[in-house]
Chains A and B, each alone.
Chain A
Amino acid sequence: MNVIRPYGDTMDDGKVQLSFTLPAPDGARGREAARKLVLSLGFKDCEVVHSAPLSAEFSFYVVYGKTETSVDFDAVVADEASADASMGMDEVNEFIRRELGRKVTVVGACTGFDAHTVGIDAIMNMKGYNHHYGLERYPEIEAYNLGAQVPNEKLIDYAVKVNADAILVSQVVTQKDTHIHNMTEFIELLEAKGLRGRFICVAGGPRIGNKLAVELGFDVGFGRGTYADDVATFIVKKLAERKGA
């Protein structure tokens, strides 16, 4: 057992900061409503440190609460693609040369009506993101970034055409669960064509978890803070695993 609580300035003080809007006018009554709300969440102490009107009908609160709730850190299992550290770009290329002995082909797109290329670009474009080069820069990887608003059908056809090893599906917009419909449709299409086993399927996006992606039939899901190295490491290790099997 390794029980932990939020740390403010003393071990186990359980201090948490919250901010939210209430559909009620600002004022003494609004602040009391905010306090009661936070207490009802299970916080023991609650201090409303700031409130302001957003309009005649809405008000904003900054609140500090104290919780006695804790978590056993030893019992925590993370929803991550791999517990191992990812290899860097050079290591990945070396791994491909050594273990696979051929180039690896990756096709990626932001699918459906989603117009946000920022995620797929961060993973695939030459430049990469935050000093992690994208897959296009990897000499041992042939990377095809199809951009945004690509229909699932088109992405699959392209992957077949270039004989891809892996397909990356990026989903940024999650309003009304569009990402789930899109990702489900992608896997169903692959299965209908009898192609699911042919590709390593990777989902990614700021609100995509590994658990969700695997549930929907992907091999893996990558969320916020993922770089090209993480994706490349997963793909090449999986390919090596399949080769060995």
Chain B
Amino acid sequence: MRTKLHLPKDRVDYARQLARRITQPVADFIDGHSSVTVERASLRLAGADGANADGVPVPNLVLDQIRAADPALLEEGATLRYVNALLKTGDEVPALNAKIAAGLDLMSLPLGDRGAIEDRARALAEAAAAKVKANRLHRDRKLEEFRDRNNKPLLYLIVATGNIYEDVKQAKAAAKQGADVIAVIRTTAQSLLDYVPFGATTEGFGGTYATQENFRIMRAALDEVAEQEKRYILLTNYASGLCMPEIAAMGALERLDMMLNDSMYGILFRDINMFRTFVDQKFSRMINAHAGIIINTGEDNYLTTSDAFEKAYTVLASQFLNEEFGFRAGLPPKLLGLGHAFEMDPTIKNGFLYELAQAQMAREIFPEHPLKYMPPTKFMSGDVFKGFAMNAMFNFVSKATNQGIHLLGMLTEAVHTPFMMDRYLAVENAKYVMNNMEDFYDDVEFRKDGLIVRRAHEVLSQTISFMEEVESIGMFDAIERGLFAEVKRPKDGGKGFEGLIKKGPGYFNPFEERLASELGLAGK
């Protein structure tokens, strides 16, 4: 790639080294721990599914039973007890799920021969890996069959009705209008639920529950449109909140293509305990990596709480950290959809040039990554006409800097959840702008001593200073002191802390083993 910004390579390399050093103590902590949702995700990969009459999912029932018998037993991992029950009852997975949902207590069954349990568990891990690989293969084949039919960048639209069947209508229309990616936004409370609801759902607030059945319904609908449009439609959901790895597991099984997955979002913006989040993000990202799912990181959120011009360096720092946490979980650059956003105050003089600098800087520092670019939201006012113009500027920057994933801005942002016609207008806007400047990226360079180049150098340098400070304080303390996003999160505070599990000497998780070996992480 020809550089337009002439960023010093040694400084960029140094920032990556800082990211490596900053995340090392976190990685050491992660290695010694699991969590209730990591265990439940493993059970889901084994096939645990369904719910009891009160709607408590089978994976939660298993964890609750183990904890009730003796919380220390969780240190061995939950898979052991689930697979033991398979052997003791002689059931296959669906029959055992039904029994657990009907009230069978796994802890009433004596623990059998460990070797036999491990063999059976590894066979289940093998089967799960095969299923996920088949999904991956199917996606690759379709992408090949419909190659060059998607927009560049990929046009990404959100549906959020609360009712999965209504979402399907809107998603199909959005795909017909030209969207490449459909995200089903989640109901506003879901990130704080320590379980994943079961079955198809028709009630949600500001979004639709992420359930495995809902994933299946939307996947089938988008596959249908893809055949008509001869364009693969990527499906996105949120591996975030208290159930990151479980939702990642469901996404892997139901062939989602992208998942929101940020290493620190839950800590900073949902007040989830930091240790819990770090443990959860690792396993969820391993699952994403194996499934070939592109993650979308959440740097845009930094800019909704802080000023996008002054705090631009926090975005780049977070991108470096998300990248490093991603590498540590086996995600290659092409699956790292690092985020950023067009959120500068529209009254700033030359704001457009600064946005261009930021986006081009991300492009050059992360050349193989499918960067996820987010539209203006904070300064969308309800003046839909001005909003439409702002979205056009955003579309311009995205195309001018060759972004990978382009979340379309809605002219009615801050007014209501998008109308069907709002999405249409957003696609029309993007197609007009992007077609008009198809070769702009290859054709235009920036003045070496100009505003854009100088701004990018300045932000990189601020980023390095910031990361040096984080390194000297230490990641956990830095979060506690409010260095990120201006929010302070105590180490033992936040939601989900009680769900953290210390791995005991007898800890057994064949899914983690399998993923680590598939991803080349074993022994690291």
Contact = CB atoms under 8 A, between A and B. Distances in A.
A71 interface: no
Contacts of B307: 127
B73 interface: no
Does more than half of chain A's interface fall in helix, strand or loop, or is it mixed?
loop
Interface stretch (A8-16, A51-59, A89-97, A156-164): A51-59
A2 to B, nearest CB: 26
Contact of B270 (A55, A115, A118): A115
Nearest to A114: B188
Interface stretch (B54-62, B85-93, B419-427, B475-483): B419-427
A224 B424 CA distance: 26
Contact of B420 (A21, A113, A176): A21
Interface string B183-217: 00000110110000000000001100000000000
Interface string A97-119: 00000000000000001110110
B191 A115 contact: yes
Contacts of B462: none
B414 A206 contact: yes
Contacts of B172: 55
Interface string B378-412: 11001000000000000000000000000000000
Given A114-B188, A115-B188, A173-B188, A52 B424 contact: yes
A58 B205 contact: no
Contacts of A115: 188, 191, 269-270
B189 A113 contact: yes
Contacts of A58: 173, 420
Contacts of B191: 115
Contacts of B305: 117, 121, 125
A218 B173 CA distance: 42
B424 A118 contact: no
A55 B421 contact: no
- Counting chain B residues whose Cβ lies within 8 A of the other chain, the interface size class is 20 to 34
Contacts of B192: 113, 149
Contacts of B345: 130
Given A114-B188, A121-B305, A149 B414 contact: no
Contacts of B189: 113, 149
B20 to A, nearest CB: 31
A55 B173 CA distance: 5
Contact of A175 (B206, B269, B421, B487): B206
- Counting chain A residues whose Cβ lies within 8 A of the other chain, the interface size class is 20 to 34
A55 B176 contact: yes
B461 interface: no
Given A118-B304, A121-B305, A54 B271 contact: no
A55 B162 contact: no
B270 A21 contact: no
B424 A113 contact: no
Interface in A153-212: 173, 175-176, 178, 206
Contacts of B421: 19-21, 54, 60
B429 interface: no
Interface of B: 162, 172-173, 176-177, 188-189, 191-192, 205-206, 269-271, 304-307, 345, 378-379, 382, 414-415, 417, 419-421, 424, 486-487
Given A55-B173, A60-B424, 14 more contacts: A19-B421, A21-B421, A52-B424, A54-B177, A58-B173, A58-B420, A113-B192, A149-B270, A173-B206, A175-B162, A175-B417, A176-B162, A206-B415, A224-B382
26 contacts: A54-B173, A54-B421, A54-B424, A55-B173, A58-B173, A58-B420, A60-B420, A113-B188, A113-B192, A114-B188, A115-B188, A115-B191, A117-B304, A117-B305, A118-B304, A118-B378, A121-B305, A147-B271, A147-B487, A149-B270, A149-B271, A175-B206, A175-B417, A176-B162, A206-B414, A206-B415
